[in-house]
Amino acid sequence: MEILVADGALVERRLPEFGRLLSEQTVVPPWNLKWAPGSIDDPESATGFLHMLHQNGGRFVVALDDDIIAGVGVTICLSCDQLLDDLHVRELGANVGDEYLAAVVVDPEQRKHGVFTRLAELRVQIARERAAASRNGHKPTAWVRTHPDVDPVIRVYTRMGFELCGEYAPPLGGVCAPRVVMKMMLDAVPTDVVY
């Protein structure tokens, strides 16, 4: 299994597959979203959402198993007020310059092999590198949200240094679904995790 940061060409070539995987895994419980795979031209679809992230500088991390997508994740620097609004993260307390770990999904056949954890760690590494490269004096925060019933995901982020900071129900994928909000200052390095 290869875990990598995807270049722009890989993202553009495989975006429909990423969208299909995201759609398939978020229309089932506990997510219950109404996201069709769609196309890059449909902002209400899974593929359109991922395309918007890509067009705004989102960094994609991909797990490949013999060129088959086993998982995909995205982190994006919240570089402008419009992104805060479009991604419904202003309500979290996010600011311009913060990082948002926007999505991560793993094919069900690849679960229980550490793929999610490796994708999550790589997204945080990207966020830390961008934070270190930022010289504007802002100490960025990384934000993530997940369903409150997905304890394994919450445990992974907690081990990585994220703290629970609230719940809300943003309009995502055609429904207002409850989400747990977690955050981590990007200058904080957890003491019990080795990267």
- pLDDT tens per residue, range 66-121: 999 999 999 999 999 999 998 888 888 899 999 999 989 999 888 888 999 999 99
Q: Is residue 36 over pLDDT 90?
A: no
DSSP code, position 167:
E
What is the rounded CA–CA span in Å between residue 188 and residue 144?
A: 16
Give mean pLDDT, residues 152-157: 93
Ranges of each domain in the chain = 2-185
Place of tokens 């934070």: 131
CB 182 within 8 A of CB 155: no
pTM of the model: 0.87
Superfamily designation of domain 2-185: Gcn5-related N-acetyltransferase (GNAT) (3.40.630.30)
CB 24 within 8 A of CB 48: no
What is the rounded CA–CA span in Å between residue 193 and residue 133?
A: 23
Quote the pLDDT of residue 88. 85
DSSP code, position 7:
P
- pLDDT tens per residue, range 109-144: 888 889 999 999 999 999 988 887 765 667 889 999
